Amino acid sequence: MATATLQTVWDCRWSRPGHHITGVSENLQPETTWVCTRDGDRRAVCGDECVSCSRWEPLAADAAIQLSNLRGAIFGDRVIEEAPAPTATEVARAALRAVLVVTALTFVAIGVTVLSDPLYVPMTIALWLCGAAMLGLAVFGQFPAD
């Protein structure tokens, strides 16, 4: 029975992300996306080369955890941090703002449907002003912290 092993460049112990400059086209980059450090120097490699490489070694378990940090190294100097979970107060504020936006859209929609006769123009304007006030409260409203 034969066992097939998938050899990928990011799972190799010797592969590292290449040095890239943000905003520069791929053909002008100082290194390719991946480099091999097996012989002590940095040599450009591609995925096809790693598939058939006889010197390919699997990544150790402790180094596999560090692969989650490679995204920042590959895509520039941006630091990607996990956002903290929203508190109950923040969720309540977001829900209130959503309700205010829906209410504003409802006032505007009712104003459009009522606008069928010149006598209803003042009522339509009043509905639109209510909608604008609700939208303004949703966007610029300062709600208490707790």
- pTM of the entire predicted model: 0.43
Number of domains in the chain: 2
Domain boundary (29, 51, 74) is at: 74
Tens of pLDDT, residue by residue, the chain (146 residues):
444 456 666 667 777 777 767 777 777 777 777 778 777 778 877 777 777 777 777 766 545 445 555 544 445 545 556 678 888 888 888 999 999 999 999 999 998 888 888 888 999 999 999 999 999 999 998 887 76
Evaluate whether residue 14 is within a structural domain: yes
Evaluate whether residue 81 is within a structural domain: no
State the burial class of residue 7 (Cβ atoms within 10 Å of its Cβ: 0-12, 13-18, 19+). middle
Evaluate whether residue 92 is within a structural domain: yes
Distance (Å, whole) CA 118 – CA 97: 33
Segments forming the whole domain that contains residue 42:
9-74
Count the alpha carbons within 13 Å of 71 in the hemisphere toward its beta carbon: 7
Domain boundary (25, 40, 74) is at: 74
Pair 57, 110 in one domain: no
